[in-house]
């Protein structure tokens, strides 16, 4: 565990910082401060929902208390979709999750204003621990990019990225009325182009396959997703959950069909090894992903191998949704323990802390420059 590997006592950290403050310039003090903060945390969270599918959630200060010293920094976003409470469908039962009702989901753009408001309620020091993300747009809408641009101008100094937003997701996509989001829609290209222009990190959810797909066929959305990624080499993209879903399982193939499809980790590794995808990372958030990773000694070994081989291309995230208690929030992190114990110290640091800081520190700087250049 990183807390056992690199954690420093708070007293030592204070003494170090006190000495630096007397001798070092402000820029150096800032970098050293961040380094010491990193050494006291077990992880940064690349995937966190402050609110749920009915736009309710945990107060941001309560979440800070849950983070404590175990978490250094966290992304901050809601869910861009609102579950409709249809009396005709569920009567007096009020659904709070998309699997609890057949009623539609609809895009809820106010989520971005809510997240900005929560962030701005914090002190400057508290704000440094969060990287808010814009999510309240319809990725099938050619005007979506205008929403993102408008949010940056209305709330300067707040957002570092966009996402988690969804293109293909089991049971969710079919519940959204109107045009279905698609990897082939130029609206998505407009979004990713603007993200590159403004410096925004992109966290995208796209299942690699359809639910209950045949295990001996190529994942339906793999070629389309790779084409999208390749078209946007200047955009910093994080593919959420390595493309897996609740019923979109890791891809397996028989010996007879190996030439058509490979194992899930082999697909991921093929992308990581291709220089055309050097701008793409994967997050390993969500308990469903953790479940596959620790399913057997063989799966643990396979996951350990790829994380050690490409330690700078993965980010840990919880995918927690408005957790009420610390136990609920840290559960996913604890699930990964069998893998953490087999990683090199370097891989542990990069996956759990370093890669987050590298990507989001760069995004903060670039987005602030864009805001200043495009201020009204």
Same domain, 208 and 244: yes
Residue 11 has pLDDT above 70, yes or no: no
Same domain, 137 and 187: yes
Residues in the chain: 376
Percentage of the chain lying above the pLDDT 70 cut: 83
pLDDT of the residue at 205: 96
Same domain, 336 and 325: yes
Contacts of residue 73, defined as CB under 8 A and 6 or more positions apart, other chains included, come to 41, 44, 45, 128, 129, 130, 131, 356, 357, 360
pLDDT one-digit tens code per residue, 166-195: 999 877 777 788 888 999 999 999 999 999
Same domain, 26 and 96: no
CATH number at residue 215: 3.20.20.140
Same domain, 116 and 172: yes
Is 332:286 a contact under the CB 8 Å cutoff?
yes
The band of 30, judged by pLDDT with boundaries at 50, 70 and 90, is very low
85-99, 128-142, 202-216, 358-372: the lowest-pLDDT one? 202-216
Same domain, 236 and 348: yes
pLDDT one-digit tens code per residue, 248-301: 556 554 434 333 334 788 999 999 999 999 999 999 999 999 999 999 999 999
94 CB neighbour count, 10 Å cutoff: 12
Q: Which structural domain, as residue segments, surrounds residue 135?
A: 43-373
C-alpha–C-alpha distance, residues 352 and 350, integer Å: 6
pLDDT of the residue at 312: 98
């Amino acid at each position: 565990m990183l807390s056992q590997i690199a954690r420093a006592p708070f007293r030592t950290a204070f003494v170090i910082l006190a000495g630096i403050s007397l001798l070092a310039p402000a820029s150096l003090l800032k970098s050293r401060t961040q380094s010491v903060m990193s050494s006291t945390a077990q992880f940064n969270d690349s995937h966190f929902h402050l609110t749920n599918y009915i736009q309710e959630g945990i107060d941001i200060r309560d979440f800070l208390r849950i983070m404590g010293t175990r978490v250094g920094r966290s992304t901050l976003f809601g869910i861009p979709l609102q579950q409709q409470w249809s009396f005709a469908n569920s009567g007096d039962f009020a659904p709070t999750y998309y699997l609890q009702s057949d009623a539609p989901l609809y895009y809820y753009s106010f989520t971005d204003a809510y997240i900005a408001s929560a962030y701005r309620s914090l002190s400057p020091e508290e704000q440094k621990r969060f990287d808010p993300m814009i999510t309240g747009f319809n990725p099938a809408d050619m005007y979506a990019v205008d929403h993102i641009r408008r949010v940056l101008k209305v709330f300067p100094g707040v957002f570092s990225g966009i996402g988690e937003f969804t293109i293909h997701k089991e049971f969710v996509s079919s519940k959204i009325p109107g045009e279905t989001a698609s990897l082939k829609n130029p609206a998505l290209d407009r979004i990713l182009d603007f993200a590159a222009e403004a410096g925004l990190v992109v966290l995208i959810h796209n299942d690699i396959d359809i639910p209950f797909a045949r295990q001996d066929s190529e994942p339906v959305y793999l070629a389309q997703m790779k084409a999208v990624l390749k078209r946007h080499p200047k955009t910093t993209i994080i593919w959420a959950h390595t493309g897996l879903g609740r019923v979109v399982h890791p891809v397996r193939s028989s010996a007879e069909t190996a030439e058509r499809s490979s194992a899930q980790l082999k697909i991921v590794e093929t992308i990581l090894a291709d220089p055309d995808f050097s701008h793409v990372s994967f997050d390993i958030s969500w308990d469903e992903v953790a479940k596959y990773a620790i399913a057997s000694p063989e799966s643990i070994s396979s996951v350990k191998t790829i994380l050690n081989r490409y330690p700078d291309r993965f980010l840990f995230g919880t995918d927690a949704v408005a957790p009420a208690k610390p136990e609920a929030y840290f559960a996913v992190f604890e699930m990964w323990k069998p893998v953490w114990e087999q990683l090199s110290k370097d891989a542990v640091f990069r996956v759990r802390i370093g890669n987050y800081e590298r990507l989001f520190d760069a995004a903060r700087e670039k987005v602030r420059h864009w805001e200043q250049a495009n201020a009204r």
